[in-house]
Amino acid sequence: MNGAESLIRTVAAAGVDVCFANPGTTEMHLVQALDDAGGVRPVLGLFEGVCAAAADGYARMAGRPAMTLLHLGPGMANGIANLHNANRGRTPVLSVVGDHSAAHRGRGAPLESDIEGLARPCSKWVRTSASAGSLARDGAEAVAAAGSAPGGVATLIVPADCAWSEADGPCPPIAPDPEPAVSDDAVEAAARLLRAPADRPVTLLLGWGALTEAGLRAAGRIARAAGARLQAETFPARVERGGSIAVAPRLPYFPEEATAALAQGSSVLLVGAREPIAFFGYPDLPSELVPPGMPVQTLAAPGEDATDALERLAGALDAGAGANASAPRKASPLAGAAGPPPPAPGAPLTPITVSQVIAAGQPEGAIVVDEGLTVSAFYVELSTGAPRHTYLALTGGAIGFGLPAAAGAAVACPDRPVIALQADGSGMYTAQALWTQAREGLDVTNLVCANGTYRILLEELSRAGVDDPAPGARALTSLGDPGLDWVALATSMGVPGRRATTAGELATAVSEALAEPGPHLVEMVI
């Protein structure tokens, strides 16, 4: 047995059962090992960014690490944007990167680079294997590191000679570190905060680990008992939504809107979330989103068992219901409101009508992967009363996540329909994911918002005081001349495509796409 086979057998025994790969010469022994060892399904991505985001989407839904196989430093560089998203979302990913053999390194080969230096900013754990004999153990430790709370990207760099040289057998799995429970003191301090008299409610800012079904039901109990407000991180990794699950509205994206939302409360209690920071710095606006002077307290830090903490806090409040001396305080709505009636069939497509049609048409159990940017805020608001579904957001801000993450989610959950709500500009970063969807026969309905612009950049220009951009600025925000043809693009990659310009056309296209197995694409002309 060579080192490559010992590695694949090791990670398979540790629960890794899929590898999203774009390999090269230095990974050929690992490619062969995927066949020889078995147990790990190889899935080809035509670009490393596709592999990284697919692993992210898979692991968010499966709850265990997915593997990527990338080619040397340049291959990893192509995947870094989506590895960054995965690491920011605390998603367990095993990123395996091939390297030159020890005898070949240091000689100036064209593809030689500092792979560890590339990996560190987007990884929680990085190691270069020193020998074929140590490769299996390194693999076991990498899988454990990726899955240990809080999760993240573990990058294992495999020199080619470590893969091809003889090795001992595989290494037994190493158990990942579980989520630690929060202390009784933290629960008691949170209960005191919620019971204290105040003129406004406490805001529970929910993040990683708190947006599970059990976590949200416990948060709903807390809100009812103490009159608290529920708020979710702006871009949560995974949220269970719909049906009777409590609603935690997302913190707005723009800083002044986020600060105004938090100002509706008297204090902030962090549950699986860090203190919120603006996405970008703006002139005359602070980086911190919590209003100055507002108390901030932590119930559960990211990586701690937030669901358990919420359940214990709900129990403490139930037990001490008579101890709350404060006046009743208005809480956020706890149940999803039924959306407005679907728009008239002839209504033109706008962010609102698109959101209404999708929310009305998505089936029970859907997985919605959202990189819709143009319509996201409207969809999230209008879909609170939709049937039960799981929602995945772009966690790290690096675009090109949606189409491949939807592919990964579909591999993880072949029995659930997947809807990719995708903007056209960001979709072009990883459009190759459509080919992978077709090759693997994945049930993904890709809904592309085609407005022909980088709309967010036009908004940012306006915020900078440029309401009428000059031709040069307009050229850098426009996707026209030539325009994109998503139907032709999808068809060329084996995905049936169609175009919708009205609400009725979109409703029909979504219904038919969801009813037929395999991937589909609808270009929504907005």
- What's the confidence (pLDDT) of residue 455? 85
- What's the confidence (pLDDT) of residue 330? 58
How is residue 162 written in tokens?
């470590």
Q: What is the mean pLDDT of each run of 10 residues along the chain (526 residues)?
A: 98 98 98 97 98 98 98 98 98 98 96 98 98 98 98 98 97 98 98 96 97 98 97 97 95 96 98 97 95 98 97 92 49 66 95 97 98 94 95 97 99 98 98 98 98 90 89 92 96 98 98 98 98
How is residue 228 written in tokens?
């608290």
- What's the confidence (pLDDT) of residue 322? 46
CA gap 399, 376 in Å, rounded: 14
Rg of the chain in Å (alpha carbons) = 24
Instruction: Identify whether the C-beta of residue 377 lies closer than 8 Å to the C-beta of residue 423.
Output: no
Instruction: Identify whether the C-beta of residue 77 lies closer than 8 Å to the C-beta of residue 427.
Output: no
Helix axes 306-319, 184-195, angle to 10 degrees: 50
CA gap 202, 190 in Å, rounded: 10
Instruction: Identify whether the C-beta of residue 201 lies closer than 8 Å to the C-beta of residue 331.
Output: yes
- What's the confidence (pLDDT) of residue 321? 62
- What's the confidence (pLDDT) of residue 324? 46
Instruction: Identify whether the C-beta of residue 295 lies closer than 8 Å to the C-beta of residue 171.
Output: no
Q: End-to-end CA distance of the chain, in Å?
A: 56
- What's the confidence (pLDDT) of residue 327? 43
How is residue 132 written in tokens?
């074929």
Q: CA-based angle 226:196:319, to the nearest 5?
A: 50
How many CB atoms within 10 Å of residue 275? 12
Sign of CA pseudo-dihedral 219, 225, 226, 229: positive
What is the residue-wise DSSP string for 224-290?
A: HHH--EEEE-SS-S-EEESTTSPP-PBPPSSHHHHHHHHTTSSEEEEES-PPPB-SS--TT--SB-S
Instruction: Identify whether the C-beta of residue 234 lies closer than 8 Å to the C-beta of residue 258.
Output: yes
CA gap 43, 49 in Å, rounded: 13
Q: Is 97 exposed, middle or buried, given 0-12, 13-18 or 19+ CB atoms closer than 10 A?
A: buried
- What's the confidence (pLDDT) of residue 50? 98
Taking alpha carbons only, the member of 376, 457, 363 closest to residue 416 is 363
What is each CA distance from 227 to 184, 263, 311, 385, 489, in whole angstroms? 22, 16, 16, 22, 51
One-letter-per-residue 3-state SS of 281-316: CCCCCCCECCCCCCCEEEEECECECHHHHHHHHHHH
How is residue 334 written in tokens?
């706890």
Q: Which domains does the chain have, with CATH numbers?
A: 3-164 (3.40.50.970), 184-323 (3.40.50.1220), 351-525 (3.40.50.970)
Helix axes 48-62, 72-88, angle to 10 degrees: 30
| Count helices and strands in the chain by DSSP H and E runs | 20, 17
Residue with the two structure tokens 């190691």? 127
How many CB atoms within 10 Å of residue 197? 10
- What's the confidence (pLDDT) of residue 205? 98
Task: Phi first, then psi: give them for residue 221, nearest 5 degrees.
Answer: -60, -40
Instruction: Identify whether the C-beta of residue 478 lies closer than 8 Å to the C-beta of residue 469.
Output: no
CA gap 48, 313 in Å, rounded: 43
Paired strand residues for 230: 204
CA gap 2, 31 in Å, rounded: 12
What is the residue-wise DSSP string for 12-60?
A: HHTT--EEEEE--GGGHHHHHHHHHH-SSEEEE-SSHHHHHHHHHHHHH
> Running DSSP on this structure, what letter comes out for residue 122?
G
